[in-house]
Amino acid sequence: MLGFLKKLFGSADVNRDGRVDAKDAKVAAEAVAAKVEVAAAKIKKQATAGAAKAKIARARKPKATPKA
């Protein structure tokens, strides 16, 4: 948990007393939200590519012929 908070406020401007201003926390939260959006777009792209590959593989698979 402490590591997450350090990462979250790592880019925030910290005052001499060690407190983080609300404005600085907002900037840090926006930076994390932007990173989440980028990661979500990357995952969506990979999932779409995987689904397309699976669809092609299913189309290439020969149909089972009924045995008489």
Q: What is the pLDDT of residues 6-61, one digit of tens each?
A: 666 665 556 666 676 777 778 778 888 888 899 999 999 999 999 999 888 888 87
Q: What is the pLDDT of residue 23?
A: 74
Tell me the helix, strand and coil percentages in the chain, rounded to 5: 70, 5, 30
pLDDT at 46: 93
Residues 6+ apart with CB under 8 A from 11: 27, 28, 31
Domain borders along the chain are: 2-59
How confident is residue 5, by pLDDT bands cut at 50, 70 and 90? Answer: low
Global pTM exceeds 0.85: no
pLDDT reading at 2 higher than 80: no
Q: What count of Cα atoms within 13 Å lies in the side-chain half-sphere of residue 20? A: 16
